[in-house]
Structure 1
Amino acid sequence: MDKIATVKWLDNLCLVGQTSSGHAVVMDGPPDIGGQNLGPRPMEMVLLGLGGCTAVDVIMMLQKSNQAVVDCHIEVSAERAETIPKVYTKIHVHYVVKGRELSEAKVARAVNLSSEKYCSVSKMLEQSAEVTHDFEIVELS
């Protein structure tokens, strides 16, 4: 198995994660449990991973289908279990795709293919959570 990431404890609940590609991110806990709020929570990083993974899929598919995409942002909302381990039980991914003369059918296809086939983070998370999605298109002049 390849080593993909390392996580180093700094102090209190502050951690630095480093990936095999050389990028680092600070994670921290909230002050009420001893953190200093210096970075996202580890569980928030999971949702960021989902948003990033699916955004790459959707943008690449739309570009390959000659869509004039100017902007794309992903809004991820989630609910967690009440008891430990407080896993995500419901996750909703909302895509906002901006561009010129975008085909609704092509955007829908890209979103569905990412969710159902290509986004590995989504496929992992759907093992423990209900993952849903929708999208909106913002037409630019």
Structure 2
Amino acid sequence: MAVQMIFPNYAVADIGRATAFYEALGFARNPQFSDDATSCMVVSDQVAIMLLEHAKFDGFLTGDQRRAPRGMLENALAMLLGSRDEVDALGAAGTAGGGTLSKPIRDDEWGMYGGQLTDPDGHIIDFFFMEAPQG
């Protein structure tokens, strides 16, 4: 099996607000896979975040599956960035775009420099830079 792409799907209350936040992070909206209730936000050639308003998201659920209520974390997206400057820039863009810096940007005990953003709908994005091991 060879996975070609990964599409995390996020339920959002307001597609315009959510799209603006992810555009502030530097991700582009792919209009081919977007509509008035969905935004396909291209992160890289292999990853695109699907933002779906609640009713649209719920349409993908089956049986007794239910979307977790706000405040109940289901997953966290983690992004490895290319430099400390990119970490600082993403943190600034995320807060300017309506997100919250839920963990301050700092060095940690694992040799990573990073922080954590919470988007306007409560989704978590860990972002960090890690020096290549010397050896």
Q: TM-score, normalised by structure 2?
A: 0.29
Larger strand proportion of the pair: 1
Q: Which has the higher contact order (CA 8 A, sep 6+)?
A: 2
Q: TM-score, normalised by structure 1?
A: 0.28
Greater Cα radius of gyration, structure 1 or 2:
1
